[in-house]
Amino acid sequence: MREVAITDQEFVQFQKLIYDIAGINMTAAKKPLVAGRLAKRVKHYGLASYGDYFQLLKKPGNDGEMQMAVDLLTTNETYFFREPKHFEFLRNRILPSLKGRQAVRVWSGASSSGEEPYSIAMTLDDCLGEQPWELLASDISSRVLEKARTGHYVMNRMENIPKAYLTRYCLRGTGEHEGTFLINASLRNRIQFRQINLNETPPNLGEFDVIFLRNVLIYFDVETKKRVVKNLLQLLKPGGYFMVSHSESLNGIAEGLQAVAPSIYRKP
């Protein structure tokens, strides 16, 4: 079967679709990405064009395929202990101030395939000892959440994990699992993975001491950024911390927050 090319008109259809569902603003530069990620689905159904695939998605009863398309278009690269300054701040500044209080609650707002929440979980477990903690890890993609729940990764993903944490929280695969490692079940079982669309009003989740929303806002336009951040800040405790990535800023997006370090904010 010949390779199908995506037209500008077809790209605009998917561009609007993913904006309406997830609030993600895909520029024209993302046209090859859209084509590449959806090519297998077009081929799977033996379709003649991306437009035919778009029409298939819109048919009643195709919710599963729609979720598949959303998963493919919203998954982003991540890795363990990405932007390590945030984890240093969590370890050295935030968690010591929360010791001796009730359960510490943290939300990883775009957990992808699990590297961020497991990095947070290792830090929480190491620093808080017997003090209870809760970690919510959410993503719009059901596919990456399933991956995250397994806690199973290829060996080259471990390079940024501190050696002490590797020994304590990771199991090296043997036999048929050689070349991979597994996050210890005692840590995996403490994380609640949940599908949440940040573009919608969040469910009743309670309040959090820390919210990580990193490498997400860069995909939203200004109005979507303001709405998403406003919704999440309502779930942040007074005195709680809100982290975005080093390539993002809340300047002009949220009022009344105190910038305490690069890309780290505190709610009064």
H helices of 129-221, in order, are 142-150, 163-169, 185-188
Given the residues 139, 188, 209, 214, the one annotated as active site: 139
164 pLDDT more than 70? yes
d(CA 187, CA 150): 11
pLDDT at 134: 97
Written as one letter, the residue type at 194 is: R
Out of 73-77, 100-104, 129-133, 256-260, pick the least confident: 73-77
Out of 73-77, 99-103, 196-200, 261-265, pick the least confident: 73-77
Residue labelled with tokens 């105190």: 258
d(CA 259, CA 267): 9
Decide if 24 contacts 18 (C-beta within 8 A).
Answer: yes
Element (DSSP H or E) covering residue 126 = helix 115-128
114 pLDDT more than 90? yes
* Domains identified in the chain and CATH numbers: 8-74 (1.10.155.10), 84-153+184-266 (3.40.50.150)
Across residues 107-130, what is the average pLDDT?
Answer: 96
Out of 14-18, 23-27, 186-190, pick the least confident: 23-27
pLDDT at 100: 83
196 pLDDT more than 60? yes
What are the tens digits of pLDDT across the range 218-255? 889 999 999 999 999 999 999 999 999 998 999 999 98
**What are the C-alpha distances in Å from 186 to residues 44, 122, 182, 189?**
39, 11, 11, 6
3-state class percentages of the chain: helix first, strand second, coil last, to nearest 5: 45, 20, 35
1 pLDDT more than 70? no
* Residue 261 or 1, more confident: 261
How big is the chain by its Cα radius of gyration, in Å? 20
Active site residue 37: yes
Q: Helix axis angle, 142-150 relative to 63-74, nearest 10°?
A: 70
Across residues 75-104, what is the average pLDDT?
Answer: 92
Label residue 74 by pLDDT band (50, 70, 90): confident
Residue labelled with tokens 């990883």: 108
Decide if 105 contacts 206 (C-beta within 8 A).
Answer: yes
30 pLDDT more than 80? yes
| Highest mean pLDDT: which range of 28-32, 90-94, 157-161, 213-217 | 90-94
35 pLDDT more than 90? yes
pLDDT at 71: 83
Share of residues in the chain with pLDDT > 90 (%): 79
pLDDT at 2: 61
Active site residue 139: yes
Decide if 148 contacts 113 (C-beta within 8 A).
Answer: yes
Query: Which residues touch 39 (CB under 8 Å, ≥6 apart)?
Result: 3, 4
Work out the mean pLDDT of the chain and round it to a whole number. 93
